[in-house]
Structure formats: structure tokens, C-alpha cells
Amino acid sequence: MRWLQLHLRSRRVPLALTTATALIALVWALSLAYTDSTTINIRTASLVIMLAVVAVGTTLGGADDALDRTAAVSWPLRRAGHLLLAGATITALLTLSTVTDARYEPFALLLRNTAGLLGLTALGAALFGAAMSWIAPLTWTLIAALPLMDPSRDLRIQVAGWLIQPAGTTAATVCASTLAVAGLLAYTLRGCPLRPASEAALDQ
């Protein structure tokens, strides 16, 4: 399994996992200590999920872009597995809070937002590279978290603010699912774009 250890280390997975876990735990601890609510606010939860996904986004590219295209390895399969495991890990970390008095819930909403934001991040990585993959999820989350965005029957608001819509909102679910599938396919089939040699050398 040495190849797996090398792969995880080359993608900085331990650091990303530690960062995501720390962010999720920090907000949970603050909510447990300073609020009486049993459910963490959806805007706060969405910001936490976005930050965890952004941390994971740094692992979507390696130090050697050309290596990710070698025919000796089934990179599309590895990229798909990497992305799916990342989504499952973030969702699992969020779900651990349900056994405490302050929790991220409901599960359907956590799953929807994690899948949508991770898909958006993967799409950004496939188009602009892992280093720039954070821009789209950060921008969309900040827009959705604005006070003027609330649960609404207006289809445009449901799409623009899909992150804060109640679980079961059809338009929000479709939007998140579309982002998730598009990101998964784009990243799995294309990977990150090749960077100039001078830029790639900075990561080595």
C-alpha cells in the first residue's frame, strides 16, 4: 500500500483532512458552548462545508501534472475515487455531531450541500487548476449567505440560494445534483489542466 501513502502525501491529503476536521469541530464546539440551539444555523453550516471543501480542493492536483496523464495508471478511476471519498469523509465528519447536543443536520441537507460544493470545486479544478478551485464555491456560498437570500418559492432564489433552501426543495436539489455530476465528470475525465513548468516547479 506504499503507493497509496505516496499518493496521499503528494496530494497533501493529511493536511487537508486535518484542516477540514478542525474547522468542523471548531464551529461545533462554539455552537455547543455559546448557543442553546440544537441545530447549527444553515448559513453557518454552509460556510463550514464550503471551507472544508476548499481545503479538500487543494488535493485535486499533484506536483507533477504530466504524471497524472500517464497511461500506466488508471487516473480517471483514481480521480473519481478521490472525489467520492472526499465527499463521504466530509459528510461523515459533519454527521458525527448528531450524537451531541449541537449538531449539523438534517442529513439530506448536509449531503446536498457537500455534493454540490464539492462538484463546483472539482469543476473549477478541471477548468482552472486546483490552486484556483476555491473561487467558485467561496463566491457562491457568500452570495447564498447574504441576508437577502432566504427560503423562497421563487425559482430564481431557490437556484441562486440553493445552499440555504430547506431539504427537499426540488430546484435546490437539482442544482446541487447538476453541479455534483458535472464536477465529477469533468474532473474524472479531464483532471487539472497542465501548468507552465515554472509554476509546477514551485510545488516540488
List pLDDT tens digits, range 20-46. Answer: 999 999 999 999 888 888 889 899 999
Q: What is the mean pLDDT of the chain?
A: 87
Range 22-31 contact pairs with CB under 8 angstroms and sequence separation of 24 or more = 23/48, 23/51, 23/52, 23/55, 24/48, 24/52, 24/90, 24/93, 24/94, 24/97, 24/104, 28/97, 28/100, 28/102, 28/103, 28/104, 31/102
Average pLDDT over residues 9-16: 85
Render pLDDT for 61-118 as a digit per residue (tens, 0 to 9). Answer: 876 655 665 655 678 888 999 999 999 999 999 999 988 888 998 999 999 999 999 9
pLDDT tens digit sequence for 51-72: 999 999 999 987 665 566 565 5
